[in-house]
Amino acid sequence: MNQSLQTPSGLAGSGALAVERSRVLRNTYWLLALSMVPTVLGAWVGVSTGVMQMMSPGMSLVIFLVGAFGLMYGVERTKNSSAGVYMLLGFTFFMGLMLSRMLAMVLGFTNGATLVMTAFGGTAAIFFAMATLSTVIKRDLSGLAKFLFVGALVVFVGFLANFFLQSSALMLTLLIVCLGVFSAFMLVDLKRVVDGGETNYISATLAIYLDLYNVFQSLLALLGIFGGNRD
């Protein structure tokens, strides 16, 4: 039984799969680290110029929806070529620019810089925890991914609805749920790469980047609500 696993060809096949998984994971981490550069640059441009603050909330929402989904579509269309890397970096610059409105608001607090660094540190801690868990957990998490997708969809619709409702209680609830959903999504996406379920490092980077972005944004907003100091 299972003689193919004992043959040299079977062992070579297993070794090749392990090498391929390691390559995808390594490239994903490198591209993820690189994607932080245009994100920071986009955020810096947005905060420095105040371009997002000049727009009405409605206009910035439309730009975000069109730009984000359009660029994500572009990334997926070009993921099998080097153009996909440039498309992804363009997407992360755009996302940094979109984040600048919230950053500018938080930096308006006297302890704003501390809040930003705390949100960054918290996001990094969650990432390292999920990355560690992804190598330890043996069970298949594909079922959890479907559940989390529904949760993410509910959060997205909730944020859109609250744009018009302007409910503080709903906003707080959505931020907490968003933090939990995308922290769990981070684990699922990382494990998919570790297990070899995702073989394209550009797609893998896009998924994990979105998890990190939403976790950071949720943490920053929560810290601003509860820890912002205007004195």
Count of CB atoms situated within 10 Å of the CB of 172: 14
The CA distance from 220 to 167, in Å, is 18
Measure CA 55 to chain center.
25
Q: What is the pTM of this model?
A: 0.91
Q: Render pLDDT for 153-163 as a digit per residue (tens, 0 to 9).
A: 999 999 999 99
Q: Closest Cα to residue 154, out of 176, 172, 177? A: 177
Q: Inform me whether the pLDDT recorded for 99 exceeds 60.
A: yes
CA 132, 16, 86, 159 torsion: positive or negative?
A: negative
Helix (H, G, I), strand (E, B) or coil at 159: helix
Of residues 118, 101, 125, 126, the one with CA closest to residue 178: 126
**Domain ranges in the chain?**
12-227
pLDDT averaged over every residue in the chain: 91
Local structure of residue 197 (DSSP, 8 states): S
pLDDT band (50, 70, 90) for residue 229: confident
**Given this model, what pLDDT does residue 3 score?**
47
Tokens linked to 82 = 């080097």
Confidence at residue 8, expressed as pLDDT on a 0 to 100 scale: 56
Q: Which pLDDT score is estimated for 10?
A: 52
Q: What torsion, rounded to 10 degrees, do the Cα atoms 99, 186, 68, 225 define?
A: -30
- For the chain, the residue count is 231
Cβ atoms of residues 87 and 75 within 8 Å: yes
pLDDT digits (tens, 9 = 90+) for 160-196: 999 999 999 999 999 999 999 999 999 999 999 999 8
Are 107 and 47 in contact by the 8 Å Cβ rule? The answer is yes
Q: Report the greatest alpha carbon distance in the chain.
A: 73
Tokens standing for residue 74: 């572009």
Contacts of 101 (CB under 8 A, 6+ apart): 46, 52, 53, 60
Q: Taking a C-beta distance cutoff of 8 angstroms, is the pair 91, 32 a contact?
A: no
The residue whose two tokens read 């609830």 is 173
